[in-house]
Amino acid sequence: MRAQQDMSHMPDWGSLVAAVVLLVAPWAFHYSSAMATLATSFSAVILVILSAMALAEIDETEEPEYLILGAWLLISPWVLGFWMDKSALVTHILFGAGFIIHSAWEIWAAPSSGQTPEP
């Protein structure tokens, strides 16, 4: 049973690793926009909080929050006006699309709580 619980937290640890990558991305990829640095750092902090809540089992349905964060990462270069910063744009598109795809998959694959088991 313990191994099953440990495996169920693998995506949450992956999200925490993604948060660290996002946190260092502005410096690792040499963002030229201060707004891009701020947006990426803010998103990384939100991701750390969501991942920590999931790992602590405070929030057992974090997929909708990851979906919203992914959508924000995907559109923020245009909303905040740093789409000309190519490294920030690529980072936001890749991470945003990744979170949207992962979250949508988890939401779709989760069993519905409103169904009753068949006899």
Q: Report d(CA 46, CA 61) in Å as an integer.
A: 16
Quickly state the pLDDT bin for 4 (edges 50, 70, 90): very low
- Model confidence at 70, pLDDT cuts 50, 70, 90, reads very high
CB-count burial class (<10 Å; 0-12, 13-18, 19+) for 22 = buried
Q: Taking 60 as the threshold, does the pLDDT of residue 69 lie above it?
A: yes
The residue among 19 and 3 whose pLDDT is bigger is: 19
Longest dimension (CA), the chain: 61
Percentage with pLDDT > 90 across the chain? 59
